[in-house]
Amino acid sequence: MELLGKTNIDFIGKRTISFIISAIISIVGIIGIVQIGRGAANMGIDFSGGTSMQLKFAKPLAIADARTTLHKSGIDKVDLQEIKDGNKLLVKIAGAAVGKQSDIVQAAFKKEFADNAFTVESSTEIGPSIGDKLRKDTLIAVALSLLGIILYIAWRFDFKFGIGATVATLHDVLAIIAVFFVMGKEVNLLLITAVLTVAGYSLTDTVVVFDRIRENLHKNMKSAMNTIFNNSINEVLSRTIITSLTTFLASAALFFLGGEVIHDFSFALMIGIAVGTYSSVFVASPIVVLLEERAAAKQTGAA
């Protein structure tokens, strides 16, 4: 079976459009990162410090009631979220000290909803010092892994390809953050894990395309740069899509069936895989073409 027959799409020619789209995504992503850095995004308590609890009630519970109950007990800044199956309630209190909030919340619910028993399914309390350390460590981790990837690609291919791959990878990372930021989803350690995984994985597609371009460049010295690049991308298009598709299928299974804890994580993976496929075709290669053209123009200008 074949999904795509022989294609002949002018990918490089569409670079103006693709660059505009990618620029917008990247800008949103950068805004997201700045907001995360300032702690203004929806930060998970592993970064901000605080308390988060998952409670399972015997009977359905109105969020508004839960909120007033907590307000009465002096907890003003609370983020409540309902999990549909099984009367579950997520309580998130940012920036609170370890050891107190959890007790207050339990006492308040016990008193106010005496006829609606609950169990604490999980509770996480993180002190602010840990959050700070984690935020620093995470920044170092992201920077280090991106640096490692850049160095490796620059070593394996030439410098212009290295830049193309790096920009594409950064683009994928920014895209995930942009989506999470716009949707107001929580930025936590699992998201960072997903982002780093995607950074490593999305290069697979880029490498497949680059390998073919390099091969064709060696074979064919006469054709125009655009033609060689376009042909190469078209030749490997079906495998670019299928490799992503298999991994996407697996992530989708996690997304739909894996449960609450890894829901956002697999969502980030799905975005990353989709965007990674797009960027290997529409971002990485056109950038290399752009750089090659500039180099060529300089040469003719000099001669």
Looking at beta carbons only, is 1 or 302 nearer to other proteins? 1
Judge contact between 269 and 193, C-beta under 8 A: no
Which of 15, 210 has the CB closer to other proteins?
Answer: 210
Number of continuous H segments (helices) and E segments (strands) in the chain: 10, 4
Q: How far is the CB of 23 from other proteins (least distance, A)?
A: 25
Report in angstroms how near the CB of residue 145 gets to other proteins at its nearest: 4
Q: Do 174 and 30 touch, CB atoms closer than 8 A?
A: yes
For residue 113, which amino acid is it? F
If the CB atoms of residues 73 and 124 are measured against other proteins, the closer one turns out to be 124
Q: How far is the CB of 271 from other proteins (least distance, A)?
A: 14
Tell whether the torsion through CA atoms of 40, 42, 46 and 51 is positive or negative: positive
Task: Assess contact for 171 and 26: CB atoms under 8 A.
Answer: yes
Q: Name the minimum Å distance from CB 68 to other proteins.
A: 26
**Residue (15 or 75) nearer to other proteins, CB:** 75
Sign of CA dihedral 192, 194, 197, 202: negative
Residue 249 Cβ vs other proteins, minimum distance, rounded to whole Å? 4
Q: Whose Cβ is closer to other proteins: residue 15's or residue 287's?
A: 287
The residue ranges that bind other proteins (CB under 8 A) are 1, 3, 54, 56, 98-99, 119-127, 129-130, 134, 137-138, 140-141, 144-145, 148-149, 152-153, 156, 189-190, 193, 196-197, 199-201, 203-204, 207-208, 211, 215, 235-236, 238-239, 242-243, 245-254, 256-259, 261-262, 265-266, 269
Q: What 3-state class would DSSP assign to 202? A: helix
Residue 268 CB-half CA count within 13 A = 28
Question: How far is 249 from 22, CA to CA, in rounded Å?
Answer: 25
Q: Which is nearer to other proteins, 64 or 155 (CB)?
A: 155
Structure tokens at 234: 């078209």
Residue 294: CB minimum distance to other proteins, A: 26
How is 66-97 classified by DSSP, letter by letter?
HHHHHHHTT--S-EEEEETTTTEEEEEEETPP
